[in-house]
Amino acid sequence: MTDVRFRQKAIALLLHLCRRPQRKHLPHLLLRIAAILVAGLFHATLSAAESLPRTVLVLDQSIPYGEYFGRLFASFQATLKIRSDIPTTTLFERLEYSHSQGSEHDNLLLSFMKEKYSSRRIGVIVVNGFDALQFAIRLGTELDPAIPIVFSNIDDGLANQLDLPPNVTGMTIRRTIRDALATAKAFIPRLKRIAIVGDPLEQQSYRRHYKSEFSAIDREVELVDLTGLPMNEVRSRVAALPRDSAIFYTRLTLGPGDIRYDPNEALELVFEVANGPIVIDQETRFGHGGTGGFILEAAPAGEAVALIVLRLLNGESASSIPIMPGEFVKPIFDWRELRRWNVNEARLPSGSEIRYREATVWEQYNVQILAICAALLAQAALIGWLIYEIGRRQRAEIHSRSAMAELTFMNRRATAGQLSASIAHEVIQPLTAITTRASTTLRLLAAETLDIDKIRTALNQIEAAGHRAGDIISSVRAMFKKDAPDRAPTDINRIILTVLSIVRVELQKHGVELQTKLNNHLQNVSGDKVQLQQVVLNLVMNGVEAMQSVPHRVLNVQTEQTESGMVRISIADTGTGIDPSNLDRIFKPLFTTKGTGMGMGLAICRSVVESHGGRIWVSDGVNGGSMFQFELPTNATKDRAGADVAQGSKD
């Protein structure tokens, strides 16, 4: 037996007893009344202790498929699902007061829903709007007066004027037309008038109270009431508004005859002819021409209502949950429309939210920009470091070349000191010949009969000896002077012969047998004569020194043309040879096996040969000792290499 049926039976019994007021039945009457009251109290206690069924009936008074209620309902259902582990069944009914109203419509709906839900227990009724609340109270009376009712989207001023039953609670909202005025003044600094566009306010259940606020607004700005007008007239009136006017769009659905507009499509039609920003009060108007205003948000309202429903389903009574004002209205604006109408964001109400703002390049690609900047900085740092390293390397190479040149010159001076006896011997020979021929000439001149032919021959010999002495001095001076390198086509055989002529006395002094095998058909090499002379001189002197401790001393000097077009020079001795462990270090600077050596001679040889595009190496000699060999490219080899490079570039 339901609560309604129990109470109906109790009331019927009381009425029946009251019709029989005989005194003899009075004790019996009182006894039965007391029994009924006790049973009612006991049943009420059991009913209170029994939890509500987890079935929620949602009543919406808006038009079918309203976008605002769709968002509210989605938030409502999501909150029920997330905040509760127990499944809740949600039933949904649309009252469609936007299309049909009146007592006949309400009576038909009431009969239909009473019959539909008479056999199904409803735990909570949730309503959206004032008209839906009035209907829900009537429906609850028919189904079960104890069913709690939770409402939303009712103006707080209107809710405070109602005498609501104790089983009704909910969340109110506060929207005034003064909010629209404040927004319009923010849009247009010198606002003169505000035009209100939409259905008649008395037909908009959420905005009926705006009508009573018109008088206060009209004292501040001119109020242009365009509500209830046909769309064509609305568009023409809106298009004719001066620039100091703003438009407040509420909801426009009524058309000629039975035609109904979608509110957002109607807003788009108004927006097409508007010459100023449009104030709105509902978030579903964004994207259809609304600039912004104090906006009612659907999702927070749906969540708040769902939390109240959960409290009721968990055992709280509606009377213990006071009606609270909801914080569902906040200033929100469309950034795109603000830019369209050149609205200064600084004039907007404090705490305003700007939506649909186009992200700047930095906001869209800040990670990529930071990565690119980091890469550019790293690249710049790397380039700077490379430039520094290249400069440092160039300075080091210049310093190294300068030091090597200085060491080379010092090596030549040291060699000149070692060969001073040979040089002096080479110079003394032509000087002795000059002295001898001069004495002979003097004797011939002192004779009574002058022998002109002999005198001429003696003088010619003196001249030849002088030239010979001059050539020796010039060659020695050129070999040991400190000049800048000078590359020119050079006969390597002539260089070798010049060096051997200088060291001839040194070879004789140490008992060294000289063997030469020079190819007379060598091609010229492009090189510096002085540097190449020093290489040959260093290798020859090293060979002489290496043979000081052996009895059989032979120095073999050869030249040949290789198949690859290089000129190869070989200088072999019969000395003690080189320890195999030192072969890899023999050409390194400061490495020497001599007690008095600087360790720079062979390093200088390697530097000179490699600077000429050649290579130098050492190996064991055929007859013992060591064989130093180096190769130099000829002019023909360099010309052929250049032609190959040019042909490759052309290909």
Q: List pLDDT tens digits, range 42-65.
A: 444 444 445 788 999 999 887 655
Mean pLDDT, residues 265-283: 94
pLDDT surpasses 60 at 648: no
Average pLDDT over residues 286-293: 95
CA atoms within 13 A on the CB side of 52: 25
Per-residue confidence band for 435, with pLDDT thresholds at 50, 70 and 90: confident
What pLDDT, in 10s, does the model give residues 302-326? 999 999 999 999 999 999 999 988 8
Sign of CA dihedral 310, 313, 315, 319: positive
* Residues in contact with 186: Cβ distance below 8 Å, sequence separation at least 6, in sequence order: 343, 347, 348, 349
Rg, C-alpha atoms of the chain: 59
Calculate ∠ Cα 544-546-548, nearest 5°: 75
Helices and strands (H and E) in the chain: how many: 20, 20
pLDDT at residue 637 in the model: 65
Compute the mean pLDDT over every residue in the chain, rounded to the nearest whole number: 82
Residue 246 pLDDT level (bands cut at 50, 70, 90)? very high
Handedness of CA 292, 296, 298, 303 (dihedral sign): positive
The C-alpha atoms of residue 434 and residue 287 are separated, in whole angstroms, by: 118
Antiparallel, parallel or unpaired: β 554-561 and 89-94: unpaired
pLDDT at 7: 46
Kindly indicate the confidence band of residue 38, based on its pLDDT and cuts at 50, 70 and 90.
very low
- Of residues 618 and 480, more confidently modeled: 618
- Tell me what pLDDT residue 458 has: 76
Strands 626-633 and 525-528: unpaired
Beta bridge partners of 487: 528
- Identify the burial level of 426 via C-beta atoms within 10 angstroms of its C-beta, where 0-12 means exposed, 13-18 middle and 19 or more buried: buried
Share of the chain above pLDDT 90, in %: 39
In the predicted structure, residue 147 carries a pLDDT above the cut 80? yes
Angle (deg, nearest 10), helices 452-480 and 529-546: 90
What's the angle, vertex CA 207, arms to CA 202 and CA 209, rounded to 5?
75
Of the candidate ranges 219-228, 506-515, 586-595, the one whose mean pLDDT is the lowest: 586-595
Lowest mean pLDDT among 270-279, 473-482, 582-591: 473-482
Rounded to whole angstroms, the Cα distance separating 431 from 442 reads 16
Q: What is the pLDDT of residue 136?
A: 93
Q: Are strands 245-249 and 278-279 parallel, antiparallel or unpaired?
A: parallel
pLDDT band at 181 (very low <50, low <70, confident <90, very high): very high
Nearest CA to 472 among 430, 436, 507, 508? 430
Sheet holding 222-227, edge to edge: 222-227, 193-198, 245-249, 278-279, 292-296, 329-334, 353-355
What share of the chain in percent tops pLDDT 70? 80
CA distance 504 to 498: 10
pLDDT tops 80 at residue 510: yes
| pLDDT value for 229 | 92
Q: What CA–CA distance (Å, rounded) separates 63 from 209?
A: 20
Q: Does 17 have pLDDT greater than 50?
A: no
Contact between residue 178 and residue 213 where contact means Cβ atoms under 8 Å apart: yes
Work out the widest C-alpha separation in the chain, in whole angstroms.
Answer: 210
Inter-residue contact 187 to 279 (CB < 8 Å): yes
Measured distance CA(249)–CA(279) in Å, rounded: 6
Checking if the pLDDT of 476 tops 90, the result is no
Burial degree of 185 (CB within 10 A; 0-12, 13-18, 19+): middle
Of 12-26, 68-82, 235-249, 534-548, the range with the lowest mean pLDDT is: 12-26
Question: What local confidence, expressed as pLDDT, does residue 343 receive?
Answer: 94
Quick count: other Cβ atoms within 10 Å of Cβ 440? 17
